[in-house]
Amino acid sequence: MGASPGPTSWAANVHVPALQALSAYELRAVSTSRRASADAAAATFGVDAFDNAADLITHPDVDLVVVAVKVPEHHALVSAALAAGRMVYSEWPLGTDLAQARDLAARADAAGVRTAVGLQSRFVPEVRRIRELVDAGYVGDVLGTTIVGSGTSWGATTHRGQTYLFDAANGVTPLTASAAYGLDAIAFTLGELTRVTATAAVRRATVRIVDDGTDVPVTTPDHIALTGTLRSGAVVSAYYRGGVSRGENLRWEINGTDGDLVLTSPLANGNIQATQLVLAGGSGTATVVKELAQPVPDDPEVAAIPTPPARAVGGLYAALARDLRENRNEVPDFAAAVRMHAFLDTITAATAPERAVQVG
């Protein structure tokens, strides 16, 4: 769902190439919200295309329904797919809030179907390489880690179709989107956070709609900063801002007793799951970090996917196929999505003004 051809379509430019590259999958049908875009999708992808979700969900040749549309539409579409007994892959966030995520997880359990949620940062080759290096002792004992990123969507201007991002009620914020992917990468490589403090703020009160020059109010916090500790005792610092920086837009450092790892992006994109990455490291007697060899996914089909965002999503799809063949549970499912939503709610609660200590 959401596969309208065009330069800004996540489904068309990321999910479709990933699926087409993997022999375990066959793209059978897509859906969009309009007849014209459905016709364009049919011509572009050479499959059945519908202008409504119901026809896709009930298509006799569809086993897995992929929901890659705006988050406020997730609950209704995922619910319909589950009611039809279909497996569902939903993009992250699963719902606009924890209540929706819990409801969808309960519906999936009742339907008895497999689910997947798009927390694909753990399938980014550089993130998986970090985990391998840490497990192998490259940095020694992890002392602390710092991640700073730009959530590119929450800048000073936007397009009319993206204004929903600036309304906190829609559940898509620098915390629930960009930061969530970064925090999931930290949990995957270094372990879970067990203690957290946080601050959030709306620093741009309005956003300019470039389509018509009007301004709309912003309720989505466009800056989030948190500190905490991992189960190991390592200290964590994470800061995500809306928009982009003129400096680095993604920098993740892991500092240990015997070495350091640094992951950066040369692009104006702080979304770890959707950008080009460069991994550097230094260990032992090294006094500086140097760029490490670019990691290559073990699966040659995934490795051949040309763009980083599609490669990460392709890694998740490949893992889901293995899960289904081997009865494993490597891919985050709706239960994992509920845990992430609950964790983000804990961070949000930690930003409450009454938790702050006044100085001076």
Judge residue 201's burial from the number of C-beta atoms within 10 Å of its C-beta, 0-12 exposed, 13-18 middle, 19 or more buried.
Answer: exposed
The sheet carrying 214-217 orders its strands as 157-158, 206-209, 214-217
**8 Å CB contact between 178 and 270:** yes
Residues 129 and 28 in one domain: no
- Asked whether residue 2 is domain-assigned, the answer is no
The residue that leads in pLDDT, 217 or 37, is 217
Residues 131 and 108 in one domain: no
Residues 176 and 259 in one domain: yes
287-329 pLDDT, tens digit per residue, is 999 999 999 999 999 999 999 999 999 999 999 999 999 999 9
Residues 325 and 234 in one domain: no
77-106 pLDDT, tens digit per residue, is 999 999 999 999 999 999 999 999 999 999
Instruction: Determine how β-strand 214-217 pairs with β-strand 206-209.
Output: antiparallel
Residue range 160-169: mean pLDDT, rounded:
95
Q: What's the CA gap between 185 and 188, in Å, rounded? A: 5
CATH number where 164 lies: 3.30.360.10
H helix and E strand count, the chain = 11, 16
Residue range 39-55: mean pLDDT, rounded:
89
DSSP letter at 24 equals: T
Residue range 222-239: mean pLDDT, rounded:
97
274-286 pLDDT, tens digit per residue, is 999 999 999 999 9
Residues 178 and 283 in one domain: yes
CA dihedral 279, 282, 288, 289 (to 10 degrees): 0
Structural domains counted in the chain: 2
Residues 229 and 288 in one domain: yes
178-194 pLDDT, tens digit per residue, is 999 999 999 999 999 99
- Asked whether residue 5 is domain-assigned, the answer is no
Residues 104 and 132 in one domain: no
For residue 356, pLDDT beyond 90: no
From residue 102, how far is each of 173, 174, 308 by CA, in Å? Answer: 19, 21, 31
Residue 203 lies in domain: 122-295
CATH number where 64 lies: 3.40.50.720
For residue 2, pLDDT beyond 70: no
Residues 193 and 326 in one domain: no
- Reading the block at residue 20, the tokens are 């087409």
| Residue-averaged pLDDT of the chain | 95
What is the SS3 assignment for 102?
helix
Q: What is the pLDDT of residue 1?
A: 73
Residue range 236-258: mean pLDDT, rounded:
97
Residue range 126-147: mean pLDDT, rounded:
98
3-state helix, strand and coil shares in percent for the chain, rounded to the nearest 5: 40, 25, 40
Judge residue 68's burial from the number of C-beta atoms within 10 Å of its C-beta, 0-12 exposed, 13-18 middle, 19 or more buried.
Answer: buried
